[in-house]
Amino acid sequence: MSRYDVVVVGLGGAGSSAAFHLSAAGLKVLGLEQFGPLHDRGSSHGRTRIYRTAYFEGEAYVPLVRRAQQLWHELQGFARERIIQRTGGLTLGRPDGPTVRGARRSAAAFALPHEMLSPEEVRARFPQFSIRGSEVGLWDPDAGVLFPENCLRAHAAGAAERGAELHYGEAVTRWSARSGSVEVDTKAGNYRARSLVLTAGPWTPSVVSDLALPLTVERQFVFWFPPSDPDLYRPGRMPVFLWDARPEAETYGIPDLGDGVKVGSWKGKVAPTPEEADRSLREEDAEPVRAFVRERLPGLVPRETESISCLYTNSPDHHFLVGPHPRHPNVVVVSACSGHGFKFTSVLGEIVSRLLAGEEVPQELSPFDPGRFQSGTEGRRRRE
């Protein structure tokens, strides 16, 4: 039976970051991943991800995302590949809508660099976007793009260089915890450690089935569309964007980094389990996004050149789960839920390391307590 200080279950965005920070703290770390490195079965792939600081989802996220941004830049100094690229970001919508209003509130609360743009200013500065009526824009100059596969590679390489053992293709079949120790079984072996970190993404409901967490898994698609004028859609001319133009779901996009403009939305089809998610693209998945492109991004050819699927793990209040297991203080649960979590994974790994070093749970994590659903209460919904 092999012994470690910490076992990390799941080596996606949060898990690879946790292994990186825990091993940097001098701990003997084992990482277990049921699939191969950089797999496309979960939530940490897709070539590019948006990061932003004027965070409409809630002011509690702003200190975390600012620290995450610092850590991504630090990782860039270690990595051999591009990790982060600033493009600026534009939040678009009605001035009284939840997206613009929430982003403006967060920016004001933390004195973040930002600029409110009138409809005329949006049209003049960003002709890529066809806004309507009174829609305005919030300019976030510090927003940009992360490259998730490169982020995972860098975190995993850094963890391995610091002595972490990373086992791919090794699924966990059982775990148990008692005071001061945990035991983890896989088909390949049995492992003991002082602590356990559960970063299982869409598999979180089954990995912590004892909590009966009310999480749902949604299958999402993202698309790449070719521009008719490529120069207008490159970074430096086009920012990343978030737009509540569609009442049923926000739409987001990333400028052309060589594959076309990436466009997706926060609305997908619920799957009973990750294994049962239907990954085949259907017309009902693609046509709403094509219609958005036709109407709001008229300089793009409204026929995608490529699409990929990913999974969102949604909590009822659309906030994360980060903190100790309610009954096992040496087990930390991390789920960066609801489609807006990858940008935080650098700081979540650092937080895991601090928690297992015996630090108090930071106040900013109180809305993310994994035990908050045990009483049947739910926080406010993200889009209210």
Among 148-152, 275-279, 323-327, name the one with the lowest average pLDDT.
Answer: 275-279
Question: 3-state class of 121 per DSSP?
Answer: helix
Q: How far apart are CA 8 and CA 16, in angstroms?
A: 9
List, in order, residues 6 or more apart from 175 with CB less than 8 Å away.
Answer: 9, 182, 183, 184, 185, 196, 207
Hey, CA dihedral for 356, 359, 360, 366, is it positive or negative?
negative
CATH T-level topology, domain 2-45+149-211+317-368: FAD/NAD(P)-binding domain (3.50.50)
pLDDT confidence of residue 382: 34
Cβ(138)–Cβ(54) under 8 Å? yes
Mean pLDDT of the chain: 93
- For the chain, the straight-line distance linking the first and the last C-alpha, in angstroms and rounded, comes to 50
pTM for this one? 0.95
Q: Give the pLDDT band (50/70/90) at residue 272.
A: confident
pLDDT in tens, 11-26: 999 999 999 999 999 9
Residue 378 has pLDDT above 70, yes or no: no
| Tens digit of each residue's pLDDT (9 = 90 or more) over 28-82 | 999 999 999 999 999 999 999 999 999 999 999 999 999 999 999 999 999 999 9
For residues 129-144, give the mean pLDDT. Answer: 97
Question: What pLDDT shows up at residue 50?
Answer: 97
pLDDT at 267 over 80: no
| pLDDT bracket for residue 292 (50, 70, 90) | very high
Residue 380 has pLDDT above 60, yes or no: no
pLDDT level of residue 364 (50, 70, 90 thresholds)? confident
Q: How far apart are CA 165 and CA 187, in angstroms?
A: 17
| DSSP secondary structure, 90-138, as one string | EEEE-TTSHHHHHHHHHHHHTT---EEE-HHHHHHH-TT----TT-EEE
Q: What is the pLDDT of residue 108?
A: 97
Range name among 124-138, 146-160, 183-197, 262-276 with the lowest pLDDT average = 262-276
Cα angle 380-383-384, degrees, rounded to a multiple of 5: 60
pLDDT band at 375 (very low <50, low <70, confident <90, very high): low
Q: State the residue for tokens 């999480």.
A: 215
Summarize pLDDT for 154-212 with one digit per residue, the tens.
Answer: 999 999 999 999 999 999 999 999 999 999 999 999 999 999 999 999 999 999 999 99
Element (H, E) at 123: helix 119-125
Q: How much is the average pLDDT of 245-260?
A: 90
Q: Which two tokens stand for residue 56?
A: 């409409």
Topology of domain 85-146+216-314 in CATH is D-Amino Acid Oxidase; Chain A, domain 2 (3.30.9)
**2-45+149-211+317-368 against 85-146+216-314: fold identical:** no
Which residue ranges make up each domain of the chain?
2-45+149-211+317-368, 85-146+216-314
pLDDT in tens, 301-341: 999 999 999 999 999 998 999 999 999 999 999 998 768 99
